[in-house]
Structure 1
Amino acid sequence: MAPKIFLTGATGYIGGSVLDAIVTSHPEYDITVLLRSVPPSFSSRYPNVKIVKGHYDSFDIIADATSQASVVVHNGNSDHEPSLNAIITGLLRRSTPSFLIHLSGTGIVSDFRNSTYLGALNPKVWSDITDLDTIFSLPDNALHRNTEKLIQAAVAQDGDRLKAAIMCPPDIYGEGRGPLRSKSVFVPWFVDESKKQDGGGRTFYTGDGGNTRSWVHIDDLMMLYLKVVEAAVAGGTGADWGKEGYYFAGTQEVSQRDIAIAAGKILKKLGIIKNEEPFHASLDQIDTMCAERNYPGIARYLFASNSRTEAERAKKLFGYKPKAPTLLETLEDDILSAVGEK
């Protein structure tokens, strides 16, 4: 019998890429997705994927669908508690062990709320093996902490029946493979803000620009997702679950200053900005950026913070290493995509 998989977030950048990776690599899987509305080309592109109509607050619909799946890949809103509660409820209705693969993110270890290292290099590099106790005791206001706590509580209550893995990717670049959204967040937002600066547009950093974040290409991230999904289908063999089921996915680090310098040259060459030299923005200036996004502190998070992680578990279990080009090697393509010229 084909393994049954239920997937959320199928029209998103990550979730759509996960769906495409699973369908492409394992057409034999029995896959069902949750969709609020169906993109025009979805059914022709994925004719064998079943669709359940609903949204993230459709508790009964989600719980019923998850109760029929042995593996749930939750790529929807990482902080949305009702949908996660519905998934956990559905999985615990099953009489046999089931697997939850939940999307979180390295925002959980970002230092954007601490002024100490804004615009400067934070020496701390987080490990998904040796730092788990610290990660699991982060304050409640850490990004994604609310849903990670729900999973930890559910596993602590019934870890024999509920096997969970938390996927914690860093910033992502590259063209998404899914049916709808194909762009990540950072590059389009950075380009938008750069176009507004200094009259004719300039890239920027704050402090000395040494603040550094981990990055992964969407294709490399999909390699890791496939490994964990395949392990779940195989009954868990070959992967870690529960407390140890925590996976960073970064393949490289890049500072804000290096991004600003590289992007400045590209944007100037494309005629999008007038001056390729980045300018030094104050924190007050950073705080005025991305105001329309309606998320307090989002510009500090994107442009001034550190979030450095090491994918030790994936390397240990799967020999995880990058195959895709680096962020700076693909930056021009990502910028062209962001401005609609690709």
Structure 2
Amino acid sequence: MAPSIFLTGATGYIGGTAHAHLVKAFPDARFVLLVRNEERAKPIKDAYRDTTFVYGSLNDSDVIEKAAAEADIVVHTADSSDNVNAAHAIAKGLAAGHSAEKPGFWLHTSGTNILTWYDHKAGRAGEAPLPEQTYHDIDDIDKILNLPDEADHRNVDKIVLAANSDAVRIAVLCPPTIYGEGSGKVNTRSLQAPELARGTLQKGFAPIVGKGLTEWDNVHVDDLGELYVKLAAATQEPAQRSNPEVFGLHAYYFAGGGSHRWSDLARWIAEEASKQGFLPEPLTKSVSQKEVEMMEGKTTSSWGRNSKGITARAPKYLGWEAKGVSLRETVGSLVASEARSLGLEPHERKA
């Protein structure tokens, strides 16, 4: 019997892509989407006629609880790593609507900014990652589950972990830098790499924090979409759904497909911006962590800190592998897209 899936964030970048991949994989599933209002839902409604919508914000606990209680699977992507109210509502709803005999499954979206805590605490910016800053999502699961409370997203992760029970089976997806065009019907733009490209085009140079040695992992958005599919499919397999390494306190999935230095990405962007005629030369500039955090954007602070995770759980237990094009290969289209959104025209080149 096809599952019932309650998904938050279908108008967003991650949620829209997750929804598109899940619909393709489970065409007979019943989808219930939390959307702010009918106007926001219209593009999705036009594309997916058989979808059910519930309307409200992440503060509408009653709406979220009811939908979670009635769903076989909850896929939470809407401000999921930071919104405490929605996490509590999902936990309460799943517990109320499910039992050990018929458990509910929670696919929760966190993020590997949680791994930047040490650099933040120690005031490290632009430095290379220390060996102890790399976390293996199987071998180091105890360290991951006991990250300090001051780590980003940790407060919400703890709500999710506390919800795990015989009746509520959890899986935490923890993606790094996500890139590529999303496949949802509303927002198809990521944040970290586009904000670096936009800042470069606006300021006339690509910022590099300090020594420029910070590293992050990355994943193509379509590969992340497939990880939701793999986990949803696992809920339908008896051996998988009962495996504590697949769902439960150990089910913490990094989703890396590659890695990059932020300084390399800055240089690639500067080179492309110059090549496309938006900068007179591929200029980069060393800046401080404070300076970069003053730039517009939600993710600018991440460029000066390290986030390193080894993705082993999804390949081992779900057969997942990253297949998308590399981050480097998307930089040309990324720069062109950000330039269009800013209304920029290429400069004429001198002969």
- Structure 2 match to 1:299: 300
Cα displacement (A) at 1:280: 1.7
Q: Partners of 1:333 and 1:192 in 2: how far apart?
A: 13
Cα displacement (A) at 1:300: 2.8
1:21 counterpart = 2:28 = no
Tell me the alpha carbon deviations over residues 137-174 of structure 1, each in whole angstroms, 9 at most, x when there is no partner: 2222211111111112222xxx1111000000001000
1:281 counterpart = 2:287 = yes
Cα displacement (A) at 1:55: 1.3
Q: Partners of 2:281 and 2:167 in 1: how far apart?
A: 58
Q: 2:166 aligns with which of 140, 160, 163?
A: 160
- Structure 2 match to 1:4: 4
Counterpart amino acid of residue 288 in structure 1: M
- Structure 2 match to 1:32: 32
Q: Partners of 1:22 and 1:203 in 2: how far apart?
A: 37
Q: Partners of 1:75 and 1:175 in 2: how far apart?
A: 17
1:222 counterpart = 2:231 = no
* 1:35–1:287 CA distance, 2 compared to 1 (3 A): closer
Q: Partners of 2:18 and 2:271 in 1: how far apart?
A: 33
Q: 1:121 aligns with which of 104, 117, 128?
A: 128
- Structure 2 match to 1:250: 256
- Structure 2 match to 1:131: 140
Q: Secondary structure at the match of 1:89?
A: helix
- Is contact 1:231-1:237 (8 Å) kept? no
Q: Partners of 1:285 and 1:117 in 2: how far apart?
A: 14
- Is contact 1:71-1:233 (8 Å) kept? no
Q: Partners of 1:116 and 1:284 in 2: how far apart?
A: 11
- Is contact 2:11-2:187 (8 Å) kept? yes
1:63 counterpart = 2:72 = no
1:194 counterpart = 2:200 = yes
Cα displacement (A) at 1:226: 0.7
- Is contact 1:39-1:179 (8 Å) kept? no
- Is contact 2:161-2:249 (8 Å) kept? yes
Q: Partners of 2:291 and 2:93 in 1: how far apart?
A: 46
Q: Partners of 2:236 and 2:33 in 1: how far apart?
A: 17
* 1:284–1:117 CA distance, 2 compared to 1 (3 A): closer
5+ residue gaps in structure 1?
Answer: none
Counterpart amino acid of residue 329 in structure 1: E
Cα displacement (A) at 1:267: 0.5
Q: Could you tell me the TM-score, scaled by structure 2's length?
A: 0.89
Q: Partners of 2:138 and 2:216 in 1: how far apart?
A: 19
Cα displacement (A) at 1:39: 3.5
Q: Secondary structure at the match of 2:151?
A: coil
- Structure 2 match to 1:144: 153
Q: CA RMSD in A?
A: 1.9
Q: Partners of 1:120 and 1:142 in 2: how far apart?
A: 18
Q: Partners of 1:121 and 1:321 in 2: how far apart?
A: 27
Tell me the alpha carbon deviations over residues 203-257 of structure 1, each in whole angstroms, 9 at most, x when there is no partner: 1212221111000000111121110011123351676111111100011110012
Counterpart amino acid of residue 287 in structure 2: A
Q: Secondary structure at the match of 2:147?
A: coil
Cα displacement (A) at 1:46: 0.7
- Is contact 2:43-2:186 (8 Å) kept? no
- Is contact 2:201-2:339 (8 Å) kept? no
Q: Partners of 1:284 and 1:5 in 2: how far apart?
A: 42
Q: Partners of 2:198 and 2:267 in 1: how far apart?
A: 16
Q: Partners of 2:195 and 2:263 in 1: how far apart?
A: 16
Cα displacement (A) at 1:299: 2.8
- Is contact 1:212-1:307 (8 Å) kept? yes
1:203 counterpart = 2:206 = yes
Cα displacement (A) at 1:10: 0.7
Q: Secondary structure at the match of 2:41?
A: coil
Q: Partners of 2:41 and 2:47 in 1: how far apart?
A: 10
5+ residue gaps in structure 2?
Answer: 344-351
Cα displacement (A) at 1:26: 1.4
Q: Partners of 2:122 and 2:208 in 1: how far apart?
A: 15
What fraction of aligned residue pairs are identical, expressed as a percent?
32
Cα displacement (A) at 1:112: 4.4
The 4+ residue runs of structure 1 with deviation greater than 6 A are none
Cα displacement (A) at 1:18: 0.5
Q: Partners of 1:41 and 1:208 in 2: how far apart?
A: 44
Cα displacement (A) at 1:51: 0.7
- Structure 1 match to 2:325: 325
Tell me the alpha carbon deviations over residues 98-137 of structure 1, each in whole angstroms, 9 at most, x when there is no partner: 1111000001111441446421210332111122222222
